[in-house]
Structure 1
């Protein structure tokens, strides 16, 4: 079927009255969504709204309990037919599926190295074929390069090229910008627009609502496992979109002014001439008790490496980190913990959580020794403490014994924050604390950080999010490994963006 212009009116992808349950939990209830060919369709909602479940149905990882999935007006293939699914849909996840120890060429043609007839691999031909594919989609990567040596942006582009090479014309992008800086995001959006112009259909999932307005045509909102809204992006303003996601009036980006921290307040964290070759150099920063200091910059600015040094994950080349008047032994997480430093790392999945352990065990790891003697952990004390954390940090879970792997992104991040604060640290270091979490979870996380600061904890918060930085008493901007600007509260977005891009150096 076509319209008056000759364009197809048959949806490229359609979910029709789909529902999915896991035991007593309704993950998706009677959700329908239709995506037009060649469009970029946004899917938004709070953590736990049902987005991941819907994606699992659209990619054939799960079958709906009710309803149906269709591609180009035809029923989806059986779940067991993985080749047929790969020809219809691909998903570029927030966590890369690239195999780091293989070459780019091997990743592009994984399980297809020998061609369709499964013959012996001809490596020269494989690399030439990979080079042609990369050139076709303007991906500037060496086919022989080790995939693990690629940057985040390059890995994502390789994954997109791999999906298209298998015949898929529908791509799901799950939080593709979560670990990209502003320049890389602009490049990615340019490529997405170019792909859309060639007829590729995309489902774009993001918690960064401003991105929806930059790159998407239509938006669908899920809330509490149900469909709430589908509309052209141009017809839904920011406040209406947040209201649809949360079910309540908005004011989420409003930040109450905090009384300034006086110059006579004691210095809780001191960084003196801190240098790490290849990342940053000559960093001198004091953070006073109760002060929230933000640090931002591009991906190459050195901001993450600086925070990881303070948290003990990296050993500086020279300089010192001090808590109060006491130097902290460098490059040691146990030493940082003992000195009173709590850390929320950049990657909660790889560095922040132990997925096979429960919420209670993850949240109380640093203080488990206080729940008993001689290595014994009293189960009752563990559960009671974990329940208090669940209540204090608004963690939505079945209970303390639930596996942390069962949590949505926002609730998992709250567990990481609860653990960092479990020792009542003198210093709290956070790296992109709200990346990949929904609007309401952001407010809950940032509220907990402000509450910690109000009790005297010094906070060093590295973030790319302007809404995170608004909670800070001052913001330091790093550029090529150095602090190039210090902005007091009340800065404008233009001030920060200009400094990040090196305009006012």
Structure 2
């Protein structure tokens, strides 16, 4: 159990955010949230589901966003930041989830980038700068050469350099936003040692993670956000796993009453089998089956390996071991062309970059997959293509003035339908779908769900990865939960709830 720092009863908290409210147009991201860091040298955890308001709250603390209503105090004194530089001046530094290092520069250059490089008349004194950088790294007990290029470092070492940069700015409060999302267990242990060293030096840390085990391992205090409000807060000793999950989802772990689709419990032959699949760079192997007419969901946090798994099955990511079988036929390490030929379709998470050619027409995008095996480019004006395009546009209710308009002119929901529709046109019997309703409106989401259910009723096997657990609960027959590259649970729809998925996704089995 973490030991928390104490403060004299007469001293104000190090930081207080009171009744914070923030709107973006008509959307209320924060509706009266509170967060208190009791004293210097405290690790304060912040947790909540996607959309709970965590990112907005961090933006306010770090000076990237301003409050509409509410108050921010440091040492009991009200403050207001207009820019991140203003937050830095008051000792608040943030290390974002995405690495913000200049990979072609050295560790020392990154630590002092934009400030405090040791200067002399002829320019920067690089020897003195590296010596000062070494001193900062020593505070974190890091054995990293200041003259080494940042791009040569492991992911956890890059995180450490960002923390070192924050400490070089005399940070009193260090914000770590999902720092472990892309780290291995050993790398997480290394990061935690650095956090404990920072805490021992009197620097407070706001530690953000979805992983419950990490919270109980490292934090002293915890704040749980739900729907833009503080659902619970206090010393970590006041919480247990079930209490945190209850506060996050607001359901006391209650199960949803779900009705299985017609035929969802029938015995069916496997359409997709994955055996001992290990993706390049991952330590874990994955086994799974998806039957004809079955919708299987994949839940898991960012970095759990959901997207990498689908990419490997489709052949766009290298695999180190294992086998992919389509209707019993072994594909080994497939290529996308082989996957398509075997009747596999893949909907990537970013339709604009990976799923569509925006400058091309609706017609051309819908027919891309069905003509991929042709020896030469087949004209989308082919009669068979015309029939397929008309059928898909009608079936999927794609709103476009003509099949010949550029996909870029369509709404997000209609673009997503086109990205999915090309696999329907190709007659794919196994669909790999990564975030199938990301960035679409409510009506389009309902339309896509209806289409996916209809495809399953027609015997198509669907493997659906989503960061939206309610979507998986609504759509799927069963849900696989991934944690650090491995499938750790398979939950039937009737036994699933947000609380159950949250527990497994956080590593609590």
What TM-score do you get using the length of structure 1 for normalisation?
0.66
Q: Which residue of 2 is the match for residue 442 of structure 1?
A: 469
Name the CA distance, whole Å, in 1 between partners of 2:405 and 2:210: 42
Name stretches of at least 5 consecutive residues in structure 1 with no aligned partner.
Answer: 403-410, 454-458, 474-492, 499-505
Alignment counterpart, residue 138 of structure 2, candidates 135, 140, 159: 135
Change (3 A) 1:354 1:143: farther
Partner of 2:23 in structure 1? 21
Q: Is 1:294–1:472's contact at 8 Å kept on the other side of the alignment?
A: no
Could you report, residue by residue, the CA deviation over 1:383-409 in whole angstroms, capped at 9, with x for unpaired residues? Answer: 49759x9xxx9969782799xxxxxxx
Equivalent position SS for 1:469? strand
Deviations, residues 287-338 of structure 1 (Å, cap 9, x unaligned):
4636979999xx9xx9997764433223568997553366769675465355
Task: Note if 1:191 corresponds to 2:194.
Answer: yes
Q: Quote the offset at 1:365 in angstroms.
A: 12
State the match for 1:227 in structure 2. Answer: 230
Q: What RMSD, in angstroms, separates the aligned Cα atoms of the two structures? A: 5.5
Q: 1:464 aligns with which of 484, 493, 499?
A: 484
Deviations 1:12-40 (A, max 9, x none): 11112322111112121232322112211
2:176 aligned with 1:149: no
Once the two structures are TM-superposed, the CA of residue 374 in structure 1 deviates from its matched residue by 5.4
Contact in 2 for aligned 1:51/1:222 (Cα 8 Å): yes
> Which whole-Å deviations, capped at 9, do the CAs of 1:339-363 have from their partners, x for residues lacking one?
4445587xx6xxx4648999x99xx
Residue of structure 2 aligned with 1:97, choices 89, 100, 103: 100
Map of 2:71 onto structure 1: 68
Distance 1:279 1:442 in 2: 24
Alignment of 1:314 onto 2:317: yes
Q: Identify the match of residue 237 of structure 1 among 231, 240, 243.
A: 240
Aligned pairs for 1:77-476 (under 5 A) are 78-80=81-83, 82=85, 85=88, 88-112=91-115, 114-115=117-118, 120-251=123-254, 265-266=269-270, 268-269=272-273, 287=289, 289=291, 308-315=311-318, 321-324=324-327, 332-333=335-336, 336-337=339-340, 339-341=342-344, 352=350, 354=352, 368-369=366-367, 370=389, 371=393, 373=403, 383=414, 399=441, 441-442=468-469, 444-445=471-472, 448=475, 450=477, 463-464=483-484, 469-471=488-490
Change beyond 3 A, Cα 1:117–1:127: closer
CA contact (8 A) 1:294 1:463 kept: no
1:145-186 per-residue CA deviation (whole Å, 9 max, x = no partner) reads 332332221121111111111111201121222222333323
Counterpart CA distance in 2 for 1:225 and 1:48 is: 8
**Aligned partners of 2:447, 2:353: CA distance in 1, in Å?**
12
Secondary structure of residue in 2 paired with 1:133: helix
Q: Tell me what 1:46 maps to.
A: 49
Gaps of 5+ in 2: 368-388, 394-401, 421-434, 493-503
Distance 1:442 1:465, change over 3 A: farther
Q: After the TM superposition, which of the residue ranges 101-110 and 58-67 deviates more from structure 2?
A: 101-110
What is the aligned length? 432
Secondary structure at 2:124 match in 1: coil
Larger radius of gyration: 2
What are the superposed Cα offsets for residues 60-119 of structure 1, whole Å, 9 maximum, x if unpaired?
111112222222233335414716525511122222222223222221111126447897
Report if the CA contact (8 A) 2:136-2:167 is conserved.
Answer: no
TM-score by length of 2: 0.65
